[in-house]
């Protein structure tokens, strides 16, 4: 019985810690997008997580792409983006319906120079996000994340006005569960 309680306590601690890490990582991501000079700190933060979930692994991949903004050597920049791309492909294959992972890939690919030819998933990711955002209550999407995704998609031409209105209605009807990670 002691072993069970100890194991259960450890299980709860690991998962509550993972949620706390994810909240901290999301917050740091928003900040690093505004200040790319913090890319190295963000990279260190996400890579210090032990036993990361697929979502945190996606942020680890994103940190590789963000480092490309602060290195000066063009070869190093390309190497960072290639490393990101390989990591993200694997992560999306493992968790293809996770809209946070799809959003992260979409955000990076949307901002990559087109001559790299690495922005091949924009429509696919936008469609996956749109189709899954209509079921946000079932997916337990973090409310702030949902608003951030919607705001990003509004600034792109990747969604139709109808799709954006549909997503706004989903959020406006309170179907997003507060505090969900």
What is the reported pLDDT for 150?
86
The whole-angstrom separation of Cα 101 and Cα 81 is 16
Residues of the chain with pLDDT under 50: 1-17, 173-181
Given this model, what pLDDT does residue 135 score? 59
pLDDT score at 171? 66
Residues 57 and 91: beta-carbon distance below 8 Å: yes
Tokens of 14: 């690991």
| pLDDT given at position 138 | 52
Nearest to 108 by CA among 128, 127, 83: 83
CA–CA gap between residue 99 and residue 92 (Å, rounded): 10
Q: Do the Cβ atoms of 112 and 118 come closer than 8 Å?
A: yes
Residue ranges of domains in the chain? 1-95, 97-181
Contact 38, 31 (CB under 8 A): yes
What angle separates helix 54-67 from helix 99-111, to the nearest 10 degrees? 10
Task: Output the CA angle 97-161-121, nearest 5 degrees.
Answer: 35
DSSP string, 123-138: HHHHHHHHHHHTTHHH
Listed residue (74, 70, 78, 108) closest to 91, CA to CA: 108
């Amino acid at each position: 019985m002691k072993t069970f309680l100890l194991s259960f306590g450890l299980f709860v601690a690991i998962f509550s810690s993972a949620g706390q890490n994810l909240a901290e990582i999301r917050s740091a991501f928003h900040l690093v997008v505004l200040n790319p000079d913090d890319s190295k700190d963000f990279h260190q933060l996400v890579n210090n997580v032990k036993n990361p979930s697929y979502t945190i692994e996606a942020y680890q991949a994103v940190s590789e792409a963000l480092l490309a903004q602060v290195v000066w050597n063009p070869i190093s920049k390309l190497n960072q983006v290639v490393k990101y791309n390989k990591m993200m492909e694997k992560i999306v294959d493992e968790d293809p319906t996770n809209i946070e992972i799809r959003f992260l890939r979409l955000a990076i690919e949307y901002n990559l120079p087109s001559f790299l030819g690495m922005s091949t998933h924009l429509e696919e990711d936008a469609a996956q996000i749109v189709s899954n955002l209509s079921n946000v209550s079932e997916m337990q999407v973090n409310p702030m994340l949902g608003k951030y995704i919607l705001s990003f998609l509004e600034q792109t031409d990747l969604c139709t006005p109808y799709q954006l209105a549909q997503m706004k209605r989903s959020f406006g009807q309170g179907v997003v569960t507060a505090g969900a990670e």
